[in-house]
């Protein structure tokens, strides 16, 4: 049995302290793989004995104060339209607690936090009138706070200390900052008015009514930059996107106008389809006073499916953090916590935040070791209406933000009519996130001046709301008037801001016709510099992927190396023994062994590997066992990390029971790290359908819409084996339908031109080469692998080390081993595990020389030339059929049939015939006897009339 020593720093505690050893091993596993760091522990000083005594003596006052903290938000003035149906909140009345005399004084020490943290300088007496006034200013104003639901006393005390100080510096804004707010608001309004005038029929999803979103983000960016954050990754929908892009994010308005007029946002040489204006992106460097470095802000491209971008933003954020950590560790620096230098900001609409399940899935990832990013700031731009549906019909909760309480996230509700209060709320939100490294929600309550879009008539369904909206002045106008009244701004200066921006936009519009398509687009920069564009002449789609035999044996032994003193489960002894024996003999490599060899060989070359999904550590079918758990301590080791010593790392991210958010997360990882092999494994192949939006709008189309390459691998266990309708099919037909695989015969592999690759390998060696090909190519493409279930341990499907060794590569078509092709009377083309059943049946029927089984291992891009050359060997065959175990309306048939016919026409043959199950509404029956009868019919069809 292979073995290695546990690093000495993990054994600093006595061996008898098993829980400590367990904790250290788990911590080492998380720390080493992908850069997780256990968050710092935060505590605030507990109540002193004097404070505890005072809290007891003044229990009615304590109850009153806590009620204001808990229920103040229900009476706060946070709705700019004053449409929220607010009932009288009895809990906010001091009389409810027997406090009736406004002049009575009370010792507030330990009850209201007006002094610095930890300071107890004795009694502090306030009259009830002052207590009520102070607390109502804090909790029943234009910012409302929900934090008392937190189970953490430290977090509750942190908020109370921050908010209840008499001298609160977060309330004060100097003149220049107020002018900055005015400029952001005024220019946003001018921009919307300019677009409305020049492009009156354009759906621009303007920000009118919600302009305070811009100073909110500006405050967040400023606080972040000053705190040492270097990168902000933003996921947001369409509302106000153009305002943000052409304003704070410095997208040239001429580029936008060029796009609006029908031009392309993408350089012509890329031949991409592009996307609509409300999905445009920017990635500028922003300078903020007091910041040591410029702040890199990346607004990610997004589809129209609301909230789908947010887990993608999380994955990209986490991958960027890992890349920074790895670079710092190479320089000897280890103290880089999640969230120190990279922050995720997620913008939401109120209706989608409540209505889209991916929001809940994403929140559920926020504090998990393999997925946390050190806290996201969520900004909900709350229009109080979803499309044409009022809030009363859009959600069952009081607030749209209530879903965030599932992770006990604090929520700040703020009135969007008051931009200074909005900035204060964002400052508090960042302080919380940066201190606790947890998610926080800012619910920015605003309105839409024009309904869902500028061509909509919202009064059809909300007449009273829009009667009020159309009678009120705009947010920029109200704030401008306020600054003029306070002598912060002159009327002439305010008008100059608007006039200058209008002139600037007019100049940009005039220059739009001469705009070079995509001149603002950065492609293959930064970490992508070494990657080639797939459509270029330099793209290499079929590199050699074999590995030196000695290196493979080194990896194989390391993959089952058990530390001294580490007790594995008794049933895994056989797993270890079989793998070591396979390395020694060079034969009998099963699927999990080939996978481990692919992972480890890539790690030796410096590539990182991340495989994510439900129970991926051991594998759904208990086949992988890439992580080992000590049976006495539950300590965890990943042998390839502990024993291999390569430059790459392996993370086995056992995920929550989520498909959509987790797949989106891994796709975001693939955007950030081309030097990583990112894999998402579905527990069963058809489980991907819970993440279909991610596949449709990102994985299959991200390259052609946004020039975003992705090397993400989807492992989808597939195969009819009596498991019933939902555990049989990875819906290969859906994946193939999403490809742009050409129908016309072509000589090349098609690797670079097809949007994603769909494969159905039948041997571990083929799987090994597929995984290595993903990162050994000089470009990136998503890869769908219809993975095995029944083949995982099948001896007939095993491979040898020679098939993985130097000089070998993936083969898209596997010919039969028949000695004399001229004797073959039928050629059966097929994909997948059915091959092994057919070979066994052919031997049983003694038809080895009569029927040839040709395996099409790669379905997209369809291997025209390879199929042609193989079929040419069987020119004497009387018939050529396609056989599959999936129903006729499913599986690969509809994809391969027209392409096979193209090949057969070239060979002067008749069209290909179908053999298999008839069309069906389900992938497989749930009745065992029916399944067996159908499967027998499929097998018999291969040999019919022979």
Calculate mean pLDDT across residues 99-111. 95
Q: Where in the chain is the domain with CATH 3.40.50.11610?
A: 817-942
What is the model's pLDDT at position 16? Answer: 34
Q: Is pLDDT above 50 for 18? A: no
Per the prediction, the chain carries an average pLDDT of 90
- Residue 463: other Cβ atoms inside 10 A: 10
Strands 851-856 and 826-830: parallel
913 membership: H or E segment, kind and range: strand 913-916
Q: Is pLDDT above 70 for 84? A: no
Lowest mean pLDDT among 67-81, 224-238, 382-396: 382-396
Q: 914: which 2 tokens?
A: 């179908």
Lowest mean pLDDT among 21-30, 125-134, 703-712: 21-30
Q: Is pLDDT above 90 for 348? A: yes
Lowest mean pLDDT among 516-520, 533-537, 877-881: 516-520
Q: 270: which 2 tokens?
A: 């890329």
Closest CA to 181 of 482, 445, 447, 448: 482
Calculate mean pLDDT across residues 545-564. 95
**Comparing 946 with 284, which gets the higher pLDDT?**
284
**Comparing 15 with 185, which gets the higher pLDDT?**
185
Scanning the structure block, which residue is given the tokens 């996307």? 275
Calculate mean pLDDT across residues 38-42. 70
Calculate mean pLDDT across residues 636-664. 92
Instruction: Provide the pLDDT confidence category of residue 26 given band limits of 50, 70 and 90.
Output: low
Lowest mean pLDDT among 46-50, 520-524, 717-721: 520-524
CA atoms of 653 and 658, how far apart (whole Å): 13
CA atoms of 750 and 770, how far apart (whole Å): 15
Calculate mean pLDDT across residues 359-372. 94
CB 190 within 8 A of CB 498: yes
Instruction: Provide the pLDDT confidence category of residue 10 given band limits of 50, 70 and 90.
Output: very low
Q: Is pLDDT above 60 for 516? A: yes
CA atoms of 599 and 176, how far apart (whole Å): 55
pLDDT digits (tens, 9 = 90+) for 461-486: 667 666 676 778 889 999 999 999 99
CA atoms of 21 and 11, how far apart (whole Å): 7
What is the model's pLDDT at position 2? Answer: 45
CB 421 within 8 A of CB 439: no
Calculate mean pLDDT across residues 262-268. 87
Calculate mean pLDDT across residues 747-767. 92
Number of residues that this document lists for the chain: 946
What is the model's pLDDT at position 839? Answer: 96
Q: Where in the chain is the domain with CATH 3.40.50.970?
A: 178-526
What is the model's pLDDT at position 452? Answer: 62
Calculate mean pLDDT across residues 147-161. 95
Instruction: Tell the CATH superfamily of the 178-526 domain.
Output: Thiamin diphosphate (ThDP)-binding fold, Pyr/PP domains (3.40.50.970)
Q: Is pLDDT above 70 for 520? A: no
Q: How does DSSP assign 746-760, residue by residue?
A: -SS--TTTSS-EEE-
In this prediction the pTM is 0.93
**Comparing 333 with 137, which gets the higher pLDDT?**
137
300 CB-near residues (< 8 Å, 6+ apart) = 233, 234, 235, 281, 309, 312, 313, 316, 671
Angle between helix 660-672 and helix 309-330 axes, rounded to 10 deg:
40
Give the angle 834-790-735 at the CA atoms, nearest 5°.
Answer: 65
**Comparing 221 with 721, which gets the higher pLDDT?**
221
Q: Is pLDDT above 70 for 711? A: yes
pLDDT digits (tens, 9 = 90+) for 836-846: 999 999 999 99
Scanning the structure block, which residue is given the tokens 């069963």? 684
pLDDT digits (tens, 9 = 90+) for 371-393: 999 999 999 999 865 455 666 66
SS3 letters for 397-425? CCCHHHHHHHHCCCEEEEECCCHHHHHHH
Instruction: Provide the pLDDT confidence category of residue 11 given band limits of 50, 70 and 90.
Output: very low
- Residue 252: other Cβ atoms inside 10 A: 17
Radius of gyration for the chain, computed over Cα atoms and rounded to the nearest angstrom: 32
Pick the CATH number of 817-942 from 3.30.420.480, 3.40.50.11610, 3.30.300.350, 1.20.1050.140: 3.40.50.11610
Q: Is pLDDT above 50 for 410? A: yes
CB 396 within 8 A of CB 364: no
CA atoms of 492 and 490, how far apart (whole Å): 5
Closest CA to 193 of 460, 202, 418, 216: 202
What is the model's pLDDT at position 82? Answer: 77
CA atoms of 246 and 240, how far apart (whole Å): 10
**Comparing 808 with 458, which gets the higher pLDDT?**
808
Beta strands in 434-533 (DSSP E): 440-445
What Å distances lie between residue 558 and 644, 901, 908, CA to CA? 6, 48, 53
Q: How does DSSP assign 762-803, residue by residue?
A: -SHHHHHHHHHHHHHSSS---EEEEE-STTSS-GGG-B-GGG
Lowest mean pLDDT among 56-70, 273-287, 325-339: 325-339
Strands 826-830 and 879-884: parallel
Which CATH code fits 549-718+760-803? 3.40.50.12470
CA atoms of 14 and 444, how far apart (whole Å): 53
What is the model's pLDDT at position 455? Answer: 58
In the chain, what percentage of residues exceed pLDDT 70?
91
CB 71 within 8 A of CB 81: no
CB 92 within 8 A of CB 83: no
What is the model's pLDDT at position 392? Answer: 67
Q: 926: which 2 tokens?
A: 């749930």
What is the model's pLDDT at position 165? Answer: 87
CB 774 within 8 A of CB 783: yes
């Amino acid at each position: 049995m292979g073995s290695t020593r546990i690093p000495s720093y993990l054994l600093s505690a006595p061996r008898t302290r098993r829980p400590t050893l367990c904790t250290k091993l788990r911590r080492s596993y998380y720390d080493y793989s992908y850069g997780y760091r256990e968050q710092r522990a935060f505590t605030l000083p507990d109540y002193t004995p004097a404070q505890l005594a005072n809290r007891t003596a003044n229990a009615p006052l304590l109850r009153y104060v806590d009620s204001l903290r808990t229920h103040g938000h229900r009476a706060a003035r946070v709705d700019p339209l004053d449409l929220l149906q607010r009932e009288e909140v009895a809990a906010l009345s001091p009389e409810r607690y027997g406090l009736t005399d406004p002049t009575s004084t009370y010792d507030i020490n330990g009850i209201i936090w007006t002094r610095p943290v930890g300071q107890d300088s004795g009694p502090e007496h306030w009259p009830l009138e002052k207590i009520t006034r102070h607390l109502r200013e804090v909790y029943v104003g234009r910012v409302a706070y929900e934090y008392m639901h937190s189970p953490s006393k430290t977090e509750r005390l942190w908020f109370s200390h921050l908010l209840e100080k008499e001298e609160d510096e977060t309330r004060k804004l100097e003149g220049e900052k107020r002018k900055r707010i005015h400029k952001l608001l005024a220019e946003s309004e001018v921009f919307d008015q300019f677009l409305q005038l020049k492009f009156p029929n354009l759906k621009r999803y303007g920000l009118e009514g919600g302009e305070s979103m811009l100073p909110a983000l500006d405050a967040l960016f400023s606080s972040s930059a000053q705190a040492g954050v270097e990168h902000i990754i933003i996921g947001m929908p369409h509302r106000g996107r153009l305002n943000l892009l052409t304003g704070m994010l410095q997208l040239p308005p001429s580029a936008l106008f060029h796009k609006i007029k029908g031009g392309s946002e993408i350089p012509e040489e890329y031949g991409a389809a592009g996307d609509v204006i409300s999905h445009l992106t920017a990635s500028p460097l922003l300078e903020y006073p007091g910041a040591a470095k410029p702040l890199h802000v990346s607004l990610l491209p997004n589809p129209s499916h609301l909230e789908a971008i947010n887990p993608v933003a999380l994955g990209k954020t986490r991958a960027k953090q890992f890349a920074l950590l790895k670079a710092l560790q190479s320089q000897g620096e280890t103290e880089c916590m999640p969230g120190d230098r990279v922050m995720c900001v997620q913008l939401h609409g109120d209706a989608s935040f409540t209505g889209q399940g991916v929001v809940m899935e994403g929140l559920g990832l926020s504090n998990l070791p393999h997925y946390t990013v050190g806290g996201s700031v969520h900004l909900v731009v709350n229009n109080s209406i979803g499309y044409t549906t009022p809030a009363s019909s859009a959600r069952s909760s009081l607030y749209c933000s209530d879903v965030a309480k599932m992770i006990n996230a604090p929520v700040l509700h703020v009135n969007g009519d008051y931009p200074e209060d909005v900035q204060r709320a964002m400052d508090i939100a960042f302080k919380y996130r940066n201190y606790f490294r947890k998610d926080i929600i800012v619910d920015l309550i605003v309105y839409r001046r024009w309904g869902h879009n500028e061509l909509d008539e919202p009064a059809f369904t909300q007449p009273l709301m829009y009667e009020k909206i159309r009678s009120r002045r705009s947010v920029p106008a109200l704030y401008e008037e306020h600054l003029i009244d306070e002598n912060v701004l002159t009327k002439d200066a305010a008008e100059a801001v608007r006039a200058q921006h209008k002139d600037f936009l007019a100049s940009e519009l005039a220059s739009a016709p001469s705009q070079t398509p995509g001149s603002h687009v950065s492609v293959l920069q930064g970490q992508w510099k070494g990657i080639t564009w797939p459509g270029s002449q330099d793209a290499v789609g079929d590199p050699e992927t074999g590995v030196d035999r000695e290196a493979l044996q080194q990896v194989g032994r390391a993959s089952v190396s058990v530390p001294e003193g580490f007790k594995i489960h008794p049933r895994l002894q056989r797993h270890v023994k079989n793998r070591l024996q396979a390395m020694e003999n060079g034969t009998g490599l099963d699927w999990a062994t080939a996978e481990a060899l692919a992972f480890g060989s890539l790690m030796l070359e410096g590539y990182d590997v991340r495989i994510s999904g439900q129970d991926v550590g051991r594998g759904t079918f208990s086949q992988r066992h890439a992580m080992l758990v000590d049976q006495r301590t539950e300590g965890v080791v990943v042998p390839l990390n502990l024993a291999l010593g390569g430059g790459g790392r392996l993370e086995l991210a056992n995920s929550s029971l989520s498909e959509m958010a987790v797949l989106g997360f891994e796709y975001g990882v693939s955007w950030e790290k081309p030097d990583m092999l990112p894999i998402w494994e579905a527990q069963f192949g058809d489980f991907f359908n819970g993440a279909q939006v991610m596949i449709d709008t990102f994985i299959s189309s991200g390259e052609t819409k946004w020039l975003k390459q992705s090397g993400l691998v989807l492992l989808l266990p597939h195969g009819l084996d009596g498991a019933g309708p939902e555990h049989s099919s990875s819906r290969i037909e859906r994946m193939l339908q999403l490809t742009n695989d050409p129908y016309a015969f072509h000589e090349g592999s098609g690797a670079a031109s097809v949007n994603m690759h769909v494969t159905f390998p039948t041997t571990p060696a083929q799987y090994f080469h597929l995984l290595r090909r993903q990162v050994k190519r000089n470009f990136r493409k998503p890869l769908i692998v219809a993975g095995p279930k029944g083949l995982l341990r099948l001896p007939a499907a095993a491979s040898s080390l020679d098939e993985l060794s130097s000089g070998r590569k993936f083969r898209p078509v596997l010919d039969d081993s028949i000695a004399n092709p001229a004797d073959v009377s039928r050629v059966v083309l097929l994909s997948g595990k059915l091959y092994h059943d057919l070979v066994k049946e052919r031997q049983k029927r003694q038809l080895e020389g009569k029927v040839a089984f040709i395996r099409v291992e790669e379905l997209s891009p369809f291997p025209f030339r390879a199929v042609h050359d193989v079929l040419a060997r069987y020119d004497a065959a009387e018939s050529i059929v396609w056989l599959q175990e999936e129903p006729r309306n499913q599986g690969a048939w509809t994809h391969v049939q027209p392409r096979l016919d193209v090949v057969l026409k070239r060979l002067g043959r008749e069209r290909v015939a179908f053999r298999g199950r008839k069309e069906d509404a389900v992938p497989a029956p749930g009745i065992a006897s029916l399944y067996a009868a159908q499967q027998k019919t499929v097998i018999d069809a291969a040999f019919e009339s022979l």
